[in-house]
Amino acid sequence: RGDSIQRFAQALCHNKSLQILDLSSNGIEDNQLLYLAAMLQKNQTLLVLGLADNPLTNHGIRFLMQALRTNRT
């Protein structure tokens, strides 16, 4: 699953149309948030990222918070 999230996040780096992405209840874990965080630093289109009901901790959420500091959307 981690490899799939990595490839998916890499593809979204260059997304020009997707604005809402709901990844709720997909079993995404903290280590996989690294890939999503890297995507958020580059993606200029995505406005909403849903991650509800995934086994995430404060540690993983910090990755996203750091990425959002550089995201302009």
Helix, strand, coil shares of the chain, percent, nearest 5, are 50, 10, 45
Q: How confident is the model at residue 2 (pLDDT cuts 50, 70, 90)?
A: low
Q: Sign of dihedral through CA atoms 42, 71, 21, 15?
A: negative
What's the pLDDT score for residue 38?
94
Residue 70 scores a pLDDT above 90: no
pLDDT tens, position by position, 4-43: 999 999 999 989 999 999 999 999 999 999 999 999 999 9
